[in-house]
Amino acid sequence: EAAVTQSPRSKVAVTGGKVTLSCHQTNNHDYMYWYRQDTGHGLRLIHYSYVADSTEKGDIPDGYKASRPSQENFSLILELASLSQTAVYFCASSPDWGANQDTQYFGPGTRLLVL
Amino acid sequence: GDSVTQMQGQVTLSEDDFLFINCTYSTTWYPTLFWYVQYPGEGPQLLLKVTTANNKGISRGFEATYDKGTTSFHLQKASVQESDSAVYYCVLGSNYNVLYFGSGTKLTVEP
């Protein structure tokens, strides 16, 4: 069973502060992703990575940085948090080969409130 | 660019009713189409996958099909149960396993 964990599960941050969301997977997957979920918008891709030490921009990367220090870990960084970044953030991983190569396995999400 | 449009924001049914959710997609690639389901407090999880090779996917009583001519794909179930209440996303697969999500359909099944 695929396993993706996220920490923290919820966070309250102040405007202008730095926020780091962490994701850890034990699936031995090469691909990892960060999404945000807002009511009425589904999930939108922020950053993704297909190999350690490399990240790629998704559809909405502005205001976010990503870091992939190892295959298992992928972080999302908000250097200057803003009110508009209040959302639920999901991390996911997927393999790059095999029968399930394009299936993404999601973590439980992090609820971020910026005040 | 790649995109998915999901128009039905909310659907309310009674148990044993027929479910039909429709989406349209746009892509320059041969599409791989998915339906993901999200239960409260959880991340989305794969429900069904449909490719140009198989044209149809079936899982847990749900059936997904796509129509290349109208660039649409559908999710249906003959008889819904209260436990099917969740948010259903139509999803388009792209390069690097990137997924494009529709806006979601919240299904509520009343007993």
Does residue B96 surpass a pLDDT of 80?
no
List Cβ neighbours of A109 (8 Å cut-off, separation of 6 or more).
A6, A9, A37, A88, A89, A90, B41, B42, B43
Buried b (16+ CB within 10 A) or exposed e, A4-36: bebeeeebebeeeeebebbbbbebebbbbbbbb
CB-CB neighbors (< 8 A) of A109 in chain B: 41-43
Q: Give the model confidence (pLDDT) of B2-45 as tens digits.
A: 889 998 999 999 999 999 999 999 988 777 889 999 999 899 99
State whether B9 and A50 contact (CB < 8 Å). no
Measured between CA atoms, how close is B43 to chain A, in angstroms? Answer: 5
Q: Which of A31, A42, A58 sits opposite B89 (nearest CB)?
A: A42
| Strand pairing report for B32-38 and B86-93 | antiparallel
Q: Which of B9, B45, B102 sits opposite A106 (nearest CB)?
A: B45
Q: Give the model confidence (pLDDT) of B37-92 as tens digits.
A: 999 989 999 999 887 666 788 888 999 988 888 889 999 999 999 999 999 999 99
Collapse the DSSP code of B14 into the 3-class scheme (helix H, G, I; strand E, B; otherwise coil) and give the result. Answer: strand
Q: Give the model confidence (pLDDT) of A20-61 as tens digits.
A: 999 999 999 999 999 999 977 789 999 999 999 999 999 999
Does residue A62 surpass a pLDDT of 80?
yes
Triad A7, B42, B82: Cα angle to 5°: 165
CA dihedral for A21, A27, A30, A35, sign (positive or negative): negative
